Amino acid sequence: MARFITRHNEYRSLFPCEFYLRSEHFLAAVSSSDAEFSLGITIGKSVGKAHQRNKLKRRIKAFIRSNDKLLPDGFKLNLIARVGAAQLSWSTLCDQLNQIIQSLKDRPCK
């Protein structure tokens, strides 16, 4: 079961991170954890207007909820959206998030 990070002090505990994972429109700062999979979403103003950023955040959360079984436990991940992420189609967004999750599963947790 994935948990979403919402509090500022939880975001601060993610840094310094252990390693980064990248896709074309996303950067993921990853730290190991003893608990379940945790996800924070960071979308800056350079990505788009408020309604575009909110839509992207809803789509990312929908993807995570629907693919909950694929997520490996023992990681905290801060997903940072890059410019152009708000214009992605649903299938492209899913492909890029799947790429990050697969890279995460390939790495052993400490």
As given in the structure block, the two tokens for residue 23 are 């896709």
pLDDT digits 0-9 by tens, 11-47: 887 788 889 999 999 999 998 888 888 999 999 999 9
As given in the structure block, the two tokens for residue 105 are 């599963």
What topology is assigned to 3-106 in CATH? Ribosomal Protein S5; domain 2 (3.30.230)
Question: What is the overall mean pLDDT for the chain?
Answer: 90
**pLDDT of 110:** 53
Q: pTM of this prediction? A: 0.88
Number of H helices, E strands in the chain: 3, 5
By C-alpha distance, which of 85, 95, 24 is closest to 53? Answer: 85
C-alpha 26/C-alpha 42 separation (Å) is: 10
As given in the structure block, the two tokens for residue 78 are 């801060």
